[in-house]
Homo-oligomer: A and B are copies of this chain.
Amino acid sequence: MQQAKARSGADIAIAVMSGPFLQRGEPALISRWRRTKMALEGGVDLVVELPYAFAAQKAETFAAGAVSILDALHVDALCFGSESGDITQFTAILAHRRANQAQYEAHVRSLVRTGISYPKAQAQALQAIAKDTTLDVSQPNNILGLHYLQALQSQGSQAAPLTVRRLAAGYHDQTFATDTIASATSIRKQLANGDISAIGNVVPASTLHHLHEYYHTYGTFHDWERYFPLLKYKLLTMTAAQLASIYEAEEGLEHRVLDCIRGAVSFTDLMEQLKTKRYTWTRLQRLCVHILTHTTKEQLKDVQSSPYIRLLGMSRQGQSYLSMHKKKLKLPLVTHAKAYRHPLFELDHKASAVYYSILPEPLRSLMLKQDFVQHPLRYDETPKAYS
């Protein structure tokens, strides 16, 4: 966050944050409201939500959704973390691809036919046409970065792309890279063991505080294993035809899932049975999220850019920025969930309802209600208080 602000020279920082379910097809550790507080206390001025229709999605759609929201908010720059850290590497490889678009696409198709996953095929095809560029396209954050740049271009955004190099920690690292730097995966792993204090050195103090508070109040973090009883129940009441209507249930995957579910004793067990070279782990996890939320192909047909901006929280500077730009925002700003209607927003509510389903009553009912009535959080930095 500090690096992003320094490089861009920005007055304010905006974070587009996923709702209840994340890009890798996992539930967020804690509620959107707690994560909003973490972001505000970590220096973000405006926290807006990436709708479910873009959050639990392949990198291309995920990036397109985020960019559409930032562009609607008139940002001057978009900053992302990457393994590379050199923005010229990104622009160079995209130029190469544009110059060889047909060849690239044909190559991707032929690689997919050999049985490897789509993201892997994209990476190999890119590498083939851009041999003299130096971007390592096998790295997940580099790939996501390429999608951001591409979305900026295709949406005609004026925002300048910037990137900050990720230090030490690879996204998938299971253990902490150094005493003070850790990957999201390694942090989740520690928390799944119930060991909150173990991450004290690798997250800001306020983040640690909110994790403690959430765990204390709700008795749990949200991870896939907690949702497995619901997922199994859900699948055991579905026919193959119903399952085939679910988003990302392609190419007979529905039969594979139904064959595996009866005997699966945990989410990990199910995933290990489902996994093949053809499908990435995250792709299969996202399918499970869509099954859990009963999100159909029909509902996510042709989603390309967000139809709204859901505001979750703001600092005083963030609030001023919004006041100044209120009249020229390119999308409706949703500050009160109850007063806004849109089919994609309905999906956000459904995803929330599913997300809270693992909480005991009356907490579940209370959280369901909060999402409808909660106004955006207003954070004041100097007394460090919410109003």
Smallest CB gap from A233: residue in B: B357
Distance between A311 CB and nearest chain B CB, rounded to angstroms: 23
A contact face: mostly helix, strand, loop, or mixed: helix
CA distance in complex: A362, B229 (Å): 11
Instruction: Indicate whether A262 reaches chain B with its CB closer than 8 angstroms.
Output: yes
In the complex, are the beta carbons of B262 and A354 less than 8 A apart? Answer: no
In the complex, are the beta carbons of A354 and B233 less than 8 A apart? Answer: yes
CA distance in complex: A37, B254 (Å): 38
Smallest CB gap from A269: residue in B: B361
Q: A293-B237, A294-B237 are in contact. Are A263 and B369 (CB under 8 A)?
A: yes
CA distance in complex: A294, B234 (Å): 10
Smallest CB gap from A353: residue in B: B236
CA distance in complex: A89, B350 (Å): 54
Residues on B with C-beta less than 8 A from A266 are 361
Distance between A361 CB and nearest chain B CB, rounded to angstroms: 4
CA distance in complex: A369, B261 (Å): 12
CA distance in complex: A368, B260 (Å): 13
Interface residues of A in 285-338 (CB under 8 A from B): 292-294
Instruction: Indicate whether A365 reaches chain B with its CB closer than 8 angstroms.
Output: yes
Residues on B with C-beta less than 8 A from A361 are 228, 265-266
CA distance in complex: A229, B227 (Å): 12
Which residue in B229, B292, B362 is a CB contact (below 8 Å) of A265?
B362
Instruction: Indicate whether A232 reaches chain B with its CB closer than 8 angstroms.
Output: yes
Distance between A192 CB and nearest chain B CB, rounded to angstroms: 17
Distance between A372 CB and nearest chain B CB, rounded to angstroms: 9
In the complex, are the beta carbons of B232 and A357 less than 8 A apart? Answer: yes
Residues on B with C-beta less than 8 A from A292 are 237
Interface residues of A in 224-275 (CB under 8 A from B): 228-230, 232-234, 236-238, 262-266
Smallest CB gap from A360: residue in B: B229
Distance between A77 CB and nearest chain B CB, rounded to angstroms: 39
Given contacts A232-B357, A262-B369, A263-B368, could you give 17 more A-B pairs where the C-beta distance is less than 8 Å?
A228-B361, A229-B357, A230-B233, A232-B364, A233-B354, A233-B357, A234-B234, A236-B350, A236-B368, A237-B293, A237-B354, A238-B294, A262-B353, A263-B365, A264-B365, A265-B361, A265-B362
A-B contact pairs, 18 of them (CB 8 A): A229-B357, A230-B230, A232-B364, A233-B233, A233-B234, A234-B234, A234-B237, A236-B353, A236-B357, A236-B368, A237-B294, A237-B350, A237-B353, A263-B365, A264-B365, A265-B364, A265-B365, A266-B361
